[in-house]
Amino acid sequence: MKKLINDPADVVSDALRGIEAAHPGRLRVDHRHKLVVRADAPVAGKVGLVSGGGSGHEPLHAGYVGPGMLDAACCGEVFTSPVPEQIMAATTAVDGGAGVLHIVKNYTGDVMNFEMAAEQARAESGVRVEAVVVADDVAVQDSLYTAGRRGVGATVLVEKIVGAAAAQGRDLDSVAELARRVAGAGRSMGVALTSGIVPHAGTATFDIADDELEIGIGIHGEPGRGRVPMAPARQIAAMLVEPILADRDFTSGPVIALLNGMGGTPLIELYLMYGEVAALLERAGVRVARCLVGDYVTSLEMAGCSLTLLAADEEMLALWDAPVDTPGLHWGSEGVGTSSGPAPADSTIAGPGSPAEAAASESAASHAPVEGSASEPTGAPASEPTGASASEPTGASASEPTGAPASEGTASAAAWTLDVAAAHAWLADFAARVHANVDLLTDLDRQIGDADHGANMDRGMRAVAALLVQDFADAAALLKKAGMTLVSTVGGASGPLYGTFFLRLAAALPDGAPGSPGVDARAFGAALRAGYDGVVARGKAQEGDKTMLDALAPALRAYDEAVGRGAAAAFEAATAAANAGRDATIPLVARKGRASYLGERSVGHQDPGATSAALLLESAAATLGR
């Protein structure tokens, strides 16, 4: 892997410093929460627009912050959704009194984290929050048995059109209604010639031969819905156009077209592709009124392109033509075409000293900076979790997790209780096992996802391990703090799911006050069940969907059946069942999460979430069951 980076763990933080240096007076950066905010936010009386997602798609989303588009962008780790704390901070930063709209791409982690942040914002600050979910990728067949269509290129069009409406002073209800209308009118399809390389993974997310083409790819480097022999551009153009036109009628009105590069394709090839696409659309009776060609939603250095068509109307065209001043899109009312032909999209950024830059600087000077600075910490300490070293080999096979040295447990079969020391040992051991198996978890996720599960879980459990030097009143307090920490540090779907598991588990534990019933093995089993139920409610999945539930569900059944023989027997049975459930995910078709986009191509691969869940049960057996 050759990249222009320092440490793979610091890519997003380092890039944000670059954004801040490149656009002084126009944008400000909250380094603590990893936000990019327009310099004059909040704008009084204006609906605030917040979007975000994993980094690696630039200029989406940070490049679209500024007048006429977004008020703030939340920058998650590479290909990992932002956490609720980030989204909450962005929502607060842009609330000018007229409410805030969240624009969310339809990925499981994005949706869950934005939902949690909206709930928190309503409860804690009283700000009114609405959300629109963009789901435009026709490569994914929308179904009750999948996560639904991915949000891809139409996200840019939603942010531009809705940004113009918000700038006009429209209220939250009308802005949200317009956003849903635009999102519903867009369709996209993508192809890839090569995969991207996630910095912390160091290898391509999927392997593809020089004479092959991946059809139906998303924007996270995950494989598409099929693979075909490499073909001339005119044939590839048909592979993009035909599925889109088959999914919706685009002949009844004007269309906005986006021919988007995935990050590694030269502009000359993108224009060549647009020429082929335009010819096909003309023959099909589609009238392109506006178009963009270039890199607008990328997937690191992936070579390939995507096509997005939006069935527009005159209102949408007028809002598209409205002035916009962001690093990624920049044009004014002068020179923007209003005829039926494509409008020129001058992407030149106003440089320092220009009138636009000076005006932004004056506006920024009258507002306090967003909380956070370059010198403030951005996450958990990078210290090694207990029992593991970054340099130690795991010795794991492709599917068998490596064990970690167990901390001294406090359980006995005769009179088992859960106390702070036991909970401490469990969390420390789980952190060590995750760290020892980070490469395995990454590789499993690379095969059917976006290669971030290992790094995300390791980051979260490092943060949990850092908590263990603190004093807690009881096990419930420690496990609650662990859950909150995972929600705020992991990102993706795993943060809300594992965080919810520990939060619900902690809430279900008996009161630790003097004289109250202790946490015996049966009470702990009930608390585990509460944690499981929380995961089901949060993720809307069930056993058999090829998720972490496929390890947790059989583990809890086995625990309940064996608990009468004592805690040690219960944890041993639960671990064996979790490992069997993990292995049983291999022949399953994924029906939830990012792997569900692959359909039948997910068969034959072990689920990374079930693998980390099995590690959680192994840690419980090694510590709580001793």
SS3 at position 215? strand
Q: What is the pLDDT of residue 454?
A: 92
What pLDDT, on the 0 to 100 scale, is given for residue 370? 35
On average, the pLDDT of the chain sits at 86
More confident of the two residues 347 and 295: 295
Query: Does 57 participate in catalysis according to the annotation?
Result: yes
Look at residue 292 in the predicted model and tell me its pLDDT: 98
Can you tell me the distance from the alpha carbon of 49 to that of 114, in angstroms, rounded to the nearest whole number? Answer: 13
% of residues, the chain, pLDDT over 70? 84
Residue 397 has pLDDT above 60, yes or no: no
Predicted confidence band of residue 594 (pLDDT cuts 50, 70, 90): confident
Domains plus CATH for the chain? Answer: 8-323 (3.40.50.10440), 420-623 (1.25.40.340)
Position 380 pLDDT exceeds 50 = no
pLDDT tens-digit series, residues 398-441: 455 666 544 444 444 347 889 999 999 999 999 999 999 999 99
Given a cut of 50, whether residue 604 has pLDDT beyond it is yes
- Write down the pLDDT at residue 142: 56
Distance CA 171, CA 463 (A): 40
pLDDT of 521: 93
- 539, two tokens: 């993720």
Q: What is the pLDDT of residue 346?
A: 36
**Mean pLDDT confidence for 71-100:** 96
Task: Check residue 366 and give its pLDDT.
Answer: 32
Has residue 382 got a pLDDT over 50?
A: no
Radius of gyration of the chain (CA): 25
Give CA–CA dist 259/250, Å, rounded: 16
**Cα–Cα distance list, 46 to 166, 203, 302, 319, 376 (Å):** 6, 44, 37, 16, 30
Q: Write out pLDDT tens, residues 323-341.
A: 999 999 999 954 333 333 3
- Rounded to whole angstroms, how far apart are CA atoms 57 and 215? 19
In Å, what is the CA distance from 62 to each residue of 74, 80, 112, 274, 415? 8, 15, 21, 26, 55
Catalytic residue among 102, 220, 330, 605: 220
Alpha carbon distance 87, 71 (integer Å): 12
DSSP-assigned states of every residue in 350-366: PPTTSHHHHHHHHHHHT
Mean pLDDT across 515-526: 81
Among 23, 57, 61, 330, the active-site one is 57
Rounded Cα gap, residues 434 and 455, in angstroms: 9
The answer to whether residue 279 scores a pLDDT higher than 50 is yes
Contact 41, 65 (CB under 8 A): no
Give pLDDT, residue 33.
97
Q: What confidence tens digit (pLDDT) does each residue in 214-225 have?
A: 999 889 866 677
Does the pLDDT value for residue 372 go beyond 80? no
pLDDT of residue 408: 42
| CA-to-CA separations, 47 to 39, 68, 361, 475, in angstroms, rounded | 16, 12, 22, 43
Higher pLDDT: 380 or 570? It is: 570
pLDDT of residue 615: 97
Angle at 341 between CA 335 and CA 343, to 5 degrees: 35
Beta-ladder partners of 131: 102
**Secondary structure, 3-state, 331-348:** ECCCCCCCCCCCCCCCCC
Q: b/e per residue, 124-146, with b = 16+ CB within 10 A?
A: eeebbbbbbbbbbbbbbeeeeeb
Indicate if the pLDDT at residue 622 is higher than 50. Answer: yes
Q: Give, in order, the Cα–Cα distances in Å from 217 to each of 195, 272, 281, 330, 540.
A: 10, 20, 21, 28, 24
| Alpha carbon distance 394, 529 (integer Å) | 31
Distance of CA 2 to the CA centre of its chain: 25
Quick one: tokens of 237? 């153009």
DSSP assignment letter at 468: T
Average pLDDT score over residue span 111-118: 94
Tell me what pLDDT residue 341 has.
34
For residue 298, pLDDT beyond 70: yes
pLDDT of 365 higher than 80: no
Per-residue pLDDT, 368: 33
- Which three-class secondary structure string do you get for 158-206? HHHHHHHHHHCCCCHHHHHHHHHHHHHCEEEEEEECCCCECCCCCCECC
- Residue (of 104, 618, 102, 115) closest to 409 by Cα position: 618
